[in-house]
Amino acid sequence: MEIYSQIKGLGFYVPERIIENSYFESYLDTTDKWIVEKIGVKERRVASSQQVTSDLAAEACVSALTKASVHALDIDCIIFSTNTPDNLSPQTSVKIQEKIGAKNAFAFDLRVGGCPGLVYAISIADQFIKSGKCKNVLAVSAEINSRGIDWQDRSTAVILGDGASAVVLTATTDTDCRIIDTQLFTDPKGYYDAYIPAGGTAEPFSESTFQDRRHYFKMNGREIYKFAVDVFPASVSKIVKDNGFSIQDIDFIISHQANINIIKESMYKLGISMTKTYTNLKKYGNTSGASVGIAFAEAVDKGYISRGDLLILVAYGAGSGWGTILIKY
C-alpha cells in the first residue's frame, strides 16, 4: 500500500510588538498611503530583544503539534528554513528540537533564499515520509527580519516583519487527504536581486563592509516584482496541468505574502478570483519563509479552507527560488 503525506496540523507565531507605517513616515521619505497601495502593508510585528529565531519557531511548532494531536516525542525529523539563524553555526533546528522536547528527532536547517523556504521544507518532508524513513515530520520556517534589514533603506524596511510557521506532516494511506505533488525550481539569474552582500567567503565582514552597510539585506524590488508575477502563475498552471486538473478545480491558493499587487496580478493572470486566496500581509508584512505557512494556518482557522479542498501553496523569492505544492487537504 502506497504511503502519502498528510498535513495534520498548522501553527504560527508572531511577536507582540507592532510597528505601524506612521513610524516610517517620521524619518523616511514615504507615507502610509504609499506603503499600503504599493506593497499592501499597514503594520508588521517585531521580535523583542530577548527573543531569538528559535523562540519564534518553537512557539509555532507547539501550536502545530497541539492542533495535530501529535506529541513532540513522536516527531522523527525537524526541517527548518531560515535566513536569520540564532547563530551562523551550528544549525538552529537543534535549538528548536530542544525547546519543544522532540528528543527522538533528527534536525537540520535549510537556506533557500528565505521566502520559498517552507515550501522547500514541506517538499523534503514529503519525500522522507513517502520513502518510509519518517512517520511524523515538522516543517518549520521562522525569521527575525528586523535584525537583518537596514532601517534606513526604504526599499526593505517598510516591507518585512518577524514571524514563524510550522506544519506537522504525518504518514497516511488516505488518498483523499494528502500531498499530491511538490515542484521546486531555481534560476541563478536572479541571484543578486535579493541578497546580503557581506558575511560570506565572497565578501567577508570588515570595517568597510559595515561602513558601507553591506551586511544588510539588499533588494531590487522592480526585478523581484517582474520575476514573481511571471513564476507565480506559470508554476501554479504547471502543477495543475501536470497532475491532470484544470485551474477551475482548485478551491484555494495560498501565496507567499510578498506584495498585494503581486498576488492580485498573478491571480488575474490565472483567471481566479481573489476570493480564492487569503492575504494577511496588511497586518504582518512580509515574514519571508514563514509567510505562506502563517497565511495557510490563518485561512484554516478562519474557515476559508476545509478538509477535502484542493489547494496550492506557492512561494517565490531570493536565489531566485520558487515552488508549488498541490494538496488534497
Active-site annotation, residues:
115, 256, 286
Distance between CA atoms of 152 and 154, rounded to whole angstroms?
6
In single-letter form, the type of residue at position 239 comes to I
Distance between CA atoms of 285 and 146, rounded to whole angstroms?
11
In single-letter form, the type of residue at position 44 comes to R
Q: Give me 51's grid cell.
A: 527573543
Could you write out the DSSP letters of every residue in 34-82?
HHHHHT--SEEEE--TT--HHHHHHHHHHHHHHHHT--GGG--EEEEE-
**Strand pairing category for 178-186 and 136-143:** unpaired
Q: 81: exposed, middle or buried (C-beta count within 10 Å: 0-12, 13-18, 19+)? A: buried
Q: Give me 90's grid cell.
A: 551550528
Compute φ and ψ for 230, nearest 5 degrees: -90, -55
